[in-house]
Structure 1
Amino acid sequence: MEQVILVDERDNAVGTLEKMEAHRKGLLHRAFSIILFNTKGELLLQKRSSTKYHSARLWTNTCCSHPLPDETMADATRRRLKEEMGIDLQPEFAYKFIYRAALDNNLVEHEYDHVYVGTFDGEPVVNKDEVEDWKFMSLGQLREAVKQHPEAYTAWFKLILTHPELNKIAA
C-alpha cells in the first residue's frame, strides 16, 4: 500500500498514511505537479487514464504524484516523470501552494503541491496504465479551452493555470 507524507501548513512532515485513506479523509499531504514546456512555449499535457482512482480521463499537467516517505522531492519527480511519461529529466522547483478540492468517488485532494518545471521537445512514451493521451498546447489556447470546458480538466491543474507564478515562468 502506497503511503503519502502528511504535512502541516508549513510543509513539515507530521506522519504518513495510506494514500487512499488520506484522500478519503481529506488530510493535508505532500504532492508535486510537473509542467514541461517545449521550446515553442507550449505545455505538455496528459489525459489521465480511465483506470485512475480519481479524475479519470481528465486533462492535466505533464505529471503529478506524491513523494514516498524517505524519498527526496528530486528523486520523486524524476521517478514519476519517467514512470508516467517515459521522460528522463530532472525538473526544477518553481513554487508551492496548498489547495483542497472535492473529487469524484467521494475523495478529497488536500495537498501541499510543489510545482516543478522543465523543457522537453521530444515525444513522450506514455505508460498506458497512467496516461490515456497527450498533447502540447500554448498557454493561451489552454486557458481558452479550460474556460470553454472546465469539466475536462483536473481541479489542481486549473489552480496551477491561474497561479501568478505560472505567468512568470511562461514569460
Structure 2
Amino acid sequence: MTTTETSTTDTVTPEQVVLLDEDGQAVGTADKAGVHHADTPLHLAFSCYLFDGDGNVLVTRRALHKRTFPGVWTNSCCGHPAPGEPLEDAVRRRVEQELGTTVTGLRLVLPRFRYRAEQEGVVENEMCPVFVGSAEGAVTPDPDEVEDARWEPWPAFRAGVLDGTRTVSVWCREQVAQLPADPASAAAADVDDLPPAARAARTP
C-alpha cells in the first residue's frame, strides 16, 4: 500500500483514508501512512475474495515489512478507498496494483462488515465491506505488498478457517464465518446497506 500520486508540480501527495463516525458517516481524512497505531480511528476500507473458474480462492500472505499484520495469510486483497472514490473503483485499482490482474464479475456480498484487531500494538479499526469477483488473467503479485499467493479450493479453505486449523488474519476469519457457503455464486447484496460514506461516493 505504497502507491502515491504526483501533482503537476512533482510534489508527492500522501494517500488519504476516509475517517468515519459510529454511524459510518465521513468525518474527515487522514494520511494512510500514519493512520494505523495503538489508537487507530475508525475508517473506511474493503476486502476482496478472487476466484478462478474451478472454484479456487486466491489467498495471499502480507509482505513481511507491512506496518499492520506483516506476514499474515489473508484474503485476496484489502485496501482503502480514497476520499470520493467509489468502493468498486478502489477494489479494481488495488487488485491491479497488488496482484497485477483485473477483476470481472465484481459484486458486494458483505456490506456491513466491521472489525477491530490488534497485533504488536498496532490496531486495525475499519468498516470494511466485502466483495467477491473473478481474476481475469495471470496473477503477478507486487512484492512490496504480497509475500506469497496461492490458489486454494474454497471448501477446504473455508472449513480450515472455521475449525481453526487454517491460520488467517482476524478479519479474514470473521469474514469467512459470515460469507455464504459458496460466495463465488452468491447474489449481490444491497448497496443501500453500505456505510453512508461509501454510498455517498458511489458513481450515479
TM-score when normalising by structure 2: 0.74
Q: Which has the larger radius of gyration?
A: 2
How far apart are the structure 2 equivalents of 1:160 and 1:37?
16
1:85–1:126 contact (8 Å) kept in structure 2: yes
**Is the CA contact 2:68–2:124 (under 8 Å) kept in the aligned structure 1?**
no
Give 2:42's aligned residue. 28
Paired residue total: 167
Number of the residue aligned with 2:20: 7
Within 5 A, what are the aligned runs for 1:14-163?
14-24=27-37, 25-89=39-103, 91-96=106-111, 97-104=113-120, 106-120=121-135, 122-146=137-161, 147-150=164-167, 153-163=168-178
Aligned partners of 1:100, 1:17: CA distance in 2, in Å? 18
Q: Choose 93-102 or 15-24, whichever is displaced more.
A: 15-24
Structure with greater helix share of residues: 1
User: How far off its partner does 1:59 sit?
Assistant: 0.9
Secondary structure of 2:116's partner?
Answer: strand
| Structure 2 residues without counterparts, runs of 5 or longer | 1-13, 186-204
Once the 2 structures are TM-superposed, how far is the Cα of residue 124 of structure 1 from its aligned partner? 0.2
Per-residue deviation, residues 10-61 of structure 1 (Å, max 9, x unmatched): 3221111122443212211000001011122211111111121121111111
**% same residue:** 35
- Residue segments in structure 1 that go unaligned for 5+ positions in a row: none
